[in-house]
Structure 1
Amino acid sequence: MMTRRLILIAALTLAGGVPALAAPEFHAGACSFVVPDGRAATCGTVTVPENRDKPDGATVTLAVAILSTPDKLGDAPPVLYLEGGPGGAAGLDPDGIGRWWDLIARNDWLQRRKLVLYDQRGMGKSEPNLTCPEMVDVQIRSNGPEGDGGNTSAAIDAARICRSRWEAEGHDLTRYTTPDSARDVADLRLALGFDRWVLFGSSYGTRLALEAVRRYPDGIAALILDGVYPPGHSLFTASEEADPDGDRSLQRVFAACAADSTCNAAYPDLAGRYRTLLERLDDEPPTVTVARPDGKGDAELMFTGGLLAEVVFNDLYSRDDAATLPALIAGIDADRDEAYEEAAEQWLTGLLDPTIANGAYDLAECLSPDAGDLRDAPGSTCPAWPAGAADDLASQPVDSDIPALILSGGLDPVTPASWARATAAHLPNGFLVERQDQGHGLIGSDPCAETLTGKFLDAPDRQPVDACQLAPDPMRFLVNG
């Protein structure tokens, strides 16, 4: 889920022979957040062409923050964080920066290196921020009493309105792709004056890291790929039956609950109850009214099985959230008002998350050569967006001998371990670590993975090993009395 003098690029060219451009400059500015004692931060922006075929056209301004610990800082290459989503902000604001100070505080490998955070084109504090509130409003209405759970034409109309607004401001929306962002990564390193750095990608950020390696490998010392989303795959399939990974993750949670005597006693036959509950909710969905977290009044929702399934799937990303699912499912099964309200609030909070630029998300996914299933999915807004240039290279596996640490969680519902293994097969100097009882994205939630990352960066030529890998770490379920 993260972010970066005047140097001429002599050999850096885009695929297809586009002439090299002078590297942009870094312009320092004020940070919007408080810097703790013992730490330092440099904030600013780097402005790049939106379309590098038209260097005199519209621009993109990338927001950057460089965090460090001055009294421990060594000469190791900095770490550039690449946020997931796509469309996710890296946390350069007062609300988001805390997780980075916490991560630095508990990891010596980050105290000895600069951590570079930046918001990718189209999102976060970068400009433009391609957010489409009209798409969110349509989704809320479609899940209300007068909606149908996913009115495709209404969703497409809303996306077209958003597209028209951004194009009227002179933006070329076909340039918000992974290859365009990969060129940004290369330009950032030169603008910031770093000879080498480590790319640390999380979720979609791993795809961006791999694309940067494919097209602009100079200066990349190592890779950290956490929750791998490789080229050639899509986060979406045309049907739930064709997408077993979310169900696989959920069944593992159900099995863990059944194996836990306390959880099983409180919530027996959870898997069977959940299947029956989804059918009941689809047949007779109750109406739930909850306050919108953005302060814009109340939202009235039809609590269908599909809505519950979305909440459950999103909770599977984090094992801490997954540990609350048995209690939540049982509460809804018992028709408890507070359980319905809790789940509805979770759904709205995710939908209205201000750190996600939904327009940037759509563009990165819909313009991808792997977007076939997404274009055909119910409710897809891809038909509303412009078609980008064909780029079959971006769907091919990335082969590289750059050292890589590949992290995967066994409970991950969205970027399964099979994707991590397939990626590792093309990285001969890559080291795969699978943490069976962890979810999506290990760094930030799994102390053992953070320890192994430090060992990898200290010795990127060998598999990182630590005793923490042998310690049992079962899920600890929330059991309501």
Structure 2
Amino acid sequence: MRLKLILILCFLQMQSNFLDAQGINNNNNVCQCSEIGLDNKWAEEEKIICYKIPVPGNASNQKETFLMAVAIAKSTRNTNSSLLYLHGGPGISTLSNLPKYLKSDTWKKLREQENLVFFDYRGTGFSEPELENFSDSVRRFSMKNADPIAQHQFRISLIQDYRNKLLAEGINLNDFSSLHNANDAEAIRRALNLTEWNVYGVSHGTTVALQLLKHHEPTVRSMILDSPFPPNAPWVDFIRPFNEAFIVLEKRIENDPDYKTEFKDLRKSFAHAVNRLNISPAKINISPADSNSTYPFTGFDFAWGIWQAMLNPKYITLVPLLIREIEQGNDQLLFPFTSLFNNPDQFGTFSPLQSLSV
């Protein structure tokens, strides 16, 4: 992590030497930070400027506009260079993470050299249009019906209903894509009177960054692609990266005598745990205050949580023990597990409809 930060800072320093003087001096779209989900007092103390910037709703109708929630953390050294951050996801808001980001050593270092530009992608967080979150409806249905096929059919029916409702309001889910997000970023750059900027994309944000480079290349001074998702790969292909991460975990176990003795066949244990939960889902109490608010936790839920855990260096060492415990039926561990790794908002407020549209 430290080496990656050093490389990023060196790269941006080289690029910023060539930047023209440029200002974030358009006040027409400035708003109270509380209007885009940020505390006004905190924003003032942290020298955050907030905007609601109009962007075209789609290419064919320039009159229809959506307001994008944008926040800029001014450089702590008053530099003129700007860095656009493109968040992962899709479906995850950016600004809900901003207080956490600005506390980190990485972003503190970046902020020394750059004015940091953050925005919520269309349909997420406080950027328009507001898309309904059907997660609670799915959860309530799942509490009454543990059949995965019935849950899937219910989810599809909900999505179709929401799609038809949005079409009646003049909103087409085809207008939610990585290209649209890139075009929104370009509209934001123009509104902020920036000649060009450095771009830092992470995970899904790298696909947005590549679209930005493809369609608006003259405005991109430099670009960093962190944990890129190949543009030609199927978007829902999480099986291959999951397997690659699991192989790394297995190799580390193989090279550690104690772990090798303790966890002889982790892959088989994982398969047993997933199969057990798919056959007989565990009942997870969502609300401790309501003993009837239980959710059927399946093997697919467990697999997704393990995937999230393997992405976190803080928790990956616990994965072998967790797999073994769940294989052996120690389901009391699942509640804290779901709180950590199966919360859809763990990386920022989540919009399932925007995610599916992208």
Interval of TM-score (by shorter of Structure 1 and Structure 2): 0.7 to 0.9
Q: Measure how far apart 1:228 and its partner are.
A: 0.7
Which residue, 83, 86, 91 being the options, matches 1:82? 86
Contact 2:141–2:151 under 8 Å retained in 1? no
Q: Is the 2:92–2:347 Cα contact (8 Å) retained in structure 1? A: no
Quick one: which of 10, 28, 38 aligns to 2:30? 28
In the alignment, structure 1 segments of 5+ residues that lack a partner are 1-23, 365-481
Per-residue deviation at 1:166? 2.4
Deviations 1:327-383 (A, max 9, x none): 21122123224213333444652379871111111111xxxxxxxxxxxxxxxxxxx
- d(CA) in 2 for partners of 1:329 and 1:229? 27
Take 2:108 and 2:341, find their aligned partners in 1: how far apart are those partners?
Answer: 33
Cα distance in structure 1, aligned partners of 2:151 and 2:232: 29
Question: Per-residue displacement from partner, 1:24-43 (whole Å, max 9, x unpaired)?
Answer: 98511122234489741111
Paired AA for residue 80 in structure 1: L
Distance of aligned partners of 1:39 and 1:279 in 2 relative to their CA distance in 1, 3 Å threshold: closer
- 1:159 partner letter: I
Q: Pick from 261, 282, 286: which aligns with 1:291?
A: 286
- Could you list the per-position Cα deviations for residues 112-168 of structure 1 after superposition, in whole angstroms to 9, with x for gaps in the alignment? 2100011111111112132332x5532663476542256443221110122233233
Q: Tell whether the 8 Å contact from 1:179 to 1:212 is kept in structure 2 after alignment.
A: yes
1:62-85, CA deviations, whole angstroms, 9 ceiling, x for partnerless residues?
A: 001100244x1223x200011111
Q: For residue 47 of structure 2, what is the aligned residue in structure 1?
A: 40
User: How many residues are matched?
Assistant: 328
For 2:265, give the aligned amino acid.
Answer: D
- 2:340, 2:106 → 1: CA distance? 30
Check 1:30–1:82 CA distance in 2 against 1; reply closer, same or farther (3 A cut). Answer: same
Counterpart of 2:324 in structure 1 is 330
Cα 1:137/1:98, change in 2 over 3 Å: same
Match of 1:222 in 2: 222
TM-fit CA distance, 1:263: 3.6
Tell me the distance in 2 between the aligned counterparts of 1:265 and 1:139.
40
User: Which residue, 256, 261, 266 being the options, matches 2:252?
Assistant: 256
Q: Where does 1:16-415 land on structure 2 (aligned, <5 Å)? A: 26-31=28-33, 32-33=38-39, 34-35=41-42, 39-57=46-64, 59-70=65-76, 72-75=77-80, 77-90=81-94, 92-93=95-96, 96-103=97-104, 107-133=108-134, 135-138=135-138, 141-142=141-142, 145-148=145-148, 151-237=151-237, 243-283=239-279, 285-292=280-287, 299-346=293-340, 348-350=342-344, 355-364=349-358
Give per-residue Cα distances to partners, 1:78-119, cap 9 Å, x unaligned.
0001111111111x24xx222221236764342121000111
Q: Secondary structure at the match of 1:186?
A: helix
Instruction: Considering fraction of residues, name the structure with more helix.
Output: 2
Deviates more, 1:79-88 or 1:352-361: 352-361
Amino acid at match of 1:332: I
Secondary structure of the structure 2 residue equivalent to 1:56 = strand
- In 1, the alpha carbon distance for the partners of 2:315 and 2:84 equals 28
Asked whether the equivalents of residues 210 and 230 of structure 1 are also in contact (C-alpha less than 8 Å), the reply is: no
- Mapped partners of 2:234, 2:355: distance in 1: 13
For residues 37-65 of structure 1, give each alpha carbon's deviation from its aligned partner in whole angstroms, at most 9, with x where no partner exists.
Answer: 974111111012212321223x2110011
Structure 1 residues 56 and 107, CA gap change in structure 2 (3 angstroms): closer
Q: Distance in 2 between matches of 1:296 and 1:54?
A: 48
Quick one: structure 1 residues 112 and 244, their matched pair in 2 at CA, closer, same or farther if it must change by over 3 Å? closer
Secondary structure at 1:355 match in 2: coil
AA of the residue aligned to 2:168: A
Runs of 4+ in 1 over 6 A off after TM superposition: 351-354
> Quick check: 2:305–2:342 contact (8 Å CA) kept in 1?
no
- Which one is further off, 354-363 or 195-204? 354-363
Structure 1: which amino acid aligns with 2:332?
A: E
Question: Matches of 2:168 and 2:212 in 1, distance apart?
Answer: 30
Q: TM-score, normalised by structure 1?
A: 0.61
Q: Deviations over 1:192-250 (max 9, x none)?
A: 0111101111111100110011111122100011111232222324xx8xx43211211
% identical aligned pairs: 21
TM-score by length of 2: 0.80
2-structure distance, mates of 1:358, 1:264: 39
Measure the CA separation in 2 of the matches of 1:85 and 1:265.
Answer: 38
Cα distance change, pair 180–303 in 1 and its aligned pair in 2 (3 A): closer
Structure 2 counterpart of 1:434: none
